[in-house]
Structure 1
Amino acid sequence: MKKSLLTLICLLVAVGFSQAQLLPTFKLGVKGALGFSSLSSEGKMFNSDTKTGFQLGLWGRVGIAGFHVQPEAYYASKKVGIEYTQAEGEDGDATFKSFDVPVLLGTKIGLGPIGFRIQAGPVFSFAQDGKVNFTTATDWDKYKKTSTGIIGGIGADISKFTVDLRYEHGLTNLNENSNYDQKIRMWTIGVGFAFL
């Protein structure tokens, strides 16, 4: 009798655990991040130094069976240092201000309130005003208003708090001049809080 009761309890616990893994989960939160950006230039017009910018916005996460989709929406200020290799302009810093929308796919490993995530996906950027703010009088208004890239990274959840380390690799040539293939490269480290 005891063995039958123990077997029944174990079976109920196992079924409950497996169904919990199949039930969808939903989270919604806020995030902030520091971004360390550079601008690659295959035309060798300039060298780019890494500068620090920021991100502020919202994130959501829908998960089922150990996998999740995490769309985000945030304002981003990406700064780069410019050092010309030719006498075409003055050295200085450029700032790309945009509204970014990444859609990340990932999985989470962990138990209870602590878990570790691996995520990757595309990011779509929409320039705030279609221009680049530059610290000198150089004409930098020939930049595209939209661009795409890819993001990948790791993260951790500790109860309602999140920490992320990501790398963003631009896929779109930002310059409308096809002679200069310029793309953003950026590392970010961010923190977030889930209020749902």
Structure 2
Amino acid sequence: MCAALLSAAFLTAGNSVFAQEQKTGAESSLTPKFGIKGGLNLTNMYVKDVSDENMKVGWNAGVFAKLPVTQGFSIQPELLYTNKGAKETYNNFIEGKGEYRFNLNYVELPVLAVFNVVKNFNIQVGPYASYLVGANIKDLKDDGTINNITDLKADNFNRFDWGVAGGFGIDISNFTLGARYNYGFKEIDKSGSLSGELTKDSKNSAISLYIGIGF
């Protein structure tokens, strides 16, 4: 849905998008940029018939390249380490009251098409693929007790995830500020496993806020 909205915004901008420059005021030509970036994740796990997941705060960090194709259009591949997951509350007779906290750590590769709507403002859309490198699931009881669920590790989840990402960026000289939404297409759990019972065939969802520095 987010990607569709971003595509619609691009189409309404029309041919004026390509009239914008993909460079800073200090540059006289289209120049590739390489840089580092990092920021905050607000993540969740979504599934059609479940509504009790809660947003969890995580982080993201990595490197990027901004490769101009023509004025107003660039390709931006990135390599990120990103923390996703969710908080899921429970309240039943057997377990009592508490919260499962899923921390899922991925190495992620987005490849984004970047369109400059005006000189210092762009919209971004493209696919991403990621690989789960670590998982930590905690059981936080209402009485303050915290237990690690040792039966659930990275091998108990699907290692690969993919989806679509879309957002916007603001370029100020060599600095960039932005926000992005990632929508996962792959269930994070292995079907028929304990991870499937706890996550109910959920998929990843993440809002990322970031700052970057290009060189």
TM range (shorter): 0.7 to 0.9
State whether structure 2 residue 171 is matched by structure 1 residue 157: yes
Partner of 2:152: 140
Structure 2, unpaired ranges of 5+: 1-18, 24-28, 140-147
Alignment deviations for residues 95-148 of structure 1 (CA, whole Å, 9 cap, x no partner):
00110110001211334xxx111110111111114xx21113544342101110
Q: Give 1:51 shift.
A: 1.1
Q: Give 1:87 shift.
A: 6.9
* Number of equivalent positions: 170
Alignment of 1:56-95 (within 5 A): 56-65=61-70, 66-84=72-90, 91-95=99-103
- Aligned counterpart in structure 2 of residue 168 of structure 1, from 182, 200, 204: 182
- Name the CA distance, whole Å, in 2 between partners of 1:30 and 1:125: 18
Whether the aligned pair in 2 keeps the contact of 1:27 and 1:61 (CA below 8 Å) is yes
RMSD: 2.6
Partner of 1:47: 52
TM, length-normalised to structure 1: 0.77
Alignment deviations for residues 14-39 of structure 1 (CA, whole Å, 9 cap, x no partner):
xxx9xx99x65311000001010011
- Name the CA distance, whole Å, in 1 between partners of 2:49 and 2:189: 11
Q: Give 1:88 shift.
A: 8.4
Structure 1, unpaired ranges of 5+: 1-16
Fraction of identical pairs, as percent: 26
Whether the aligned pair in 1 keeps the contact of 2:121 and 2:171 (CA below 8 Å) is yes
TM, length-normalised to structure 2: 0.71
Alignment of 1:126-137 (within 5 A): 126-129=131-134, 132-136=135-139, 137=148
Q: Give 1:47 shift.
A: 2.0
- Name the CA distance, whole Å, in 2 between partners of 1:87 and 1:123: 41
Partner of 1:101: 109
Q: Give 1:41 shift.
A: 3.2
State whether structure 2 residue 204 is matched by structure 1 residue 192: no
Segments of 4+ moved more than 2 angstroms: 41-44, 84-92, 136-142, 178-181
Q: Structure 1 pair 64/140, CA: closer, same or farther in 2 (3 Å)?
A: same
